[in-house]
Structure 1
Amino acid sequence: MARPHRWAIYCRKAGNPASPLEENCRGGKPAAAVDSALPTGYAGPMLKRLARQFAAFAGVGAVATAAHYAVLALLVEAASLRASLAALIGFTVGGVVSYVLNRRFTFDSARSHAAAVPRFAVVAGVAFVLTGLLMEVLTTRAGLHWLVAQVITTGIVLVWTFLGNRFWTFRDAA
């Protein structure tokens, strides 16, 4: 069975009869015009949805980051653990929070956990390695305080994880 065009999937999810694409999505088959080009007025709703998702992602990220930073601070300050190792432990705690909240609130994905968890793990694995490398370089080589290094690292990793999760992990299977 052929996979539906991605714009048809967007339209079906929108469920808005006033949508300029609604008539093109009947039966799950987009009109030829939808396959070849976006109809006039389509970019606005798509960008609004993307902006809303990014805002939700950032909100969930704030909660996950709070968990991450709390573990990081506790391990560095109370347990005298090396900042790069403590950051990775905190990252793992934040990752669990992130998966649960993003799946439900940000992307409202219908992809099964069996399909989404391995993809999330790959995106998180890349982010995990980036976190460790950036924290090590920024604290030991650049001489930054661990908290400043973590803020910089968080900003870089945020972009990677949003794009990876938005366009791969939680994209609904067709």
Structure 2
Amino acid sequence: MRDSLRSFIIFGLVGIVNTGVDIGVFALLTWWQLPWLAAQVIAYGCGVMNSFLMNRKWTFRQQGAFTKGLLRFILLNLLTLGVTSACMMFLHEQLGVLLWVSKGAATVLGVVLNFIGSRWWVFRAEPRSLEEVMVREQTGGEI
């Protein structure tokens, strides 16, 4: 439980940096008159790469299996990108919510989806021994 709390706090701090990257790139691209959806995809992609590298090293302290983790992270974030873009489209274009309010709501949703997917799928620690597998089964995955 303590490890999950530590991971969530660091994930949140990394997320602040990623959100800054995302919003900064989004603001720059929309200021340059790029359509908002294209700006969203590019900005989100910049945040994703930063997120993978920082979360891999500091949040989940994962070593090895770089390519497998990166592919899973990309798949998770493509799913999250689709959900957050649909959220923005619904809020902004269907309900008339201000673009930046829509972006904020989509960002909050994206944080929740990414933490769950990162913790339990992308950066999941693989058991190293039969004893560790048995302990994981008995404790519901926590060691």
Question: Which TM-score band applies after superposition, normalised by the shorter structure?
Answer: 0.7 to 0.9
Match of 2:4 among 46, 50, 58: 50
What stretches of structure 2 of length at least 5 have no aligned partner?
Answer: 128-143
Q: Deviations over 1:131-163 (max 9, x none)?
A: 221111111111122111111001111111000
Runs of 4+ in structure 1 off by over 6 angstroms are none
Preserved contact between residue 138 and residue 149 of structure 1 (Cα < 8 Å): yes
User: Partners in 1 of 2:19 and 2:54 — Cα distance?
Assistant: 12
Match of 2:35 in 1: 82
Match of 2:85 among 89, 110, 132: 132
Give 1:111 shift: 4.3
Match of 1:155 in 2: 108
Question: TM-score when scaled to structure 1?
Answer: 0.69
- Normalized per residue, which structure has more helix? 2
The one-letter code sitting in structure 2 at the alignment partner of 1:172 is: A
Count of matched residue positions in the alignment of Structure 1 and Structure 2: 127
Match of 2:137 in 1: none
User: Partners in 1 of 2:33 and 2:56 — Cα distance?
Assistant: 34
What stretches of structure 1 of length at least 5 have no aligned partner?
Answer: 1-45
User: Partners in 2 of 1:82 and 1:143 — Cα distance?
Assistant: 17
Preserved contact between residue 85 and residue 106 of structure 2 (Cα < 8 Å): no
Match of 2:19 in 1: 65
The one-letter code sitting in structure 2 at the alignment partner of 1:133 is: A
Match of 1:96 among 46, 49, 52: 49
User: Partners in 1 of 2:92 and 2:35 — Cα distance?
Assistant: 10
Q: CA RMSD in A?
A: 1.2
The one-letter code sitting in structure 1 at the alignment partner of 2:30 is: V
Match of 2:135 in 1: none
Partner SS, residue 74 of structure 1: helix
Percent of paired sites with the same residue: 28
**Which structure would you say has the larger Rg?**
1
Higher relative contact order (CA 8 A, sep 6+): 2
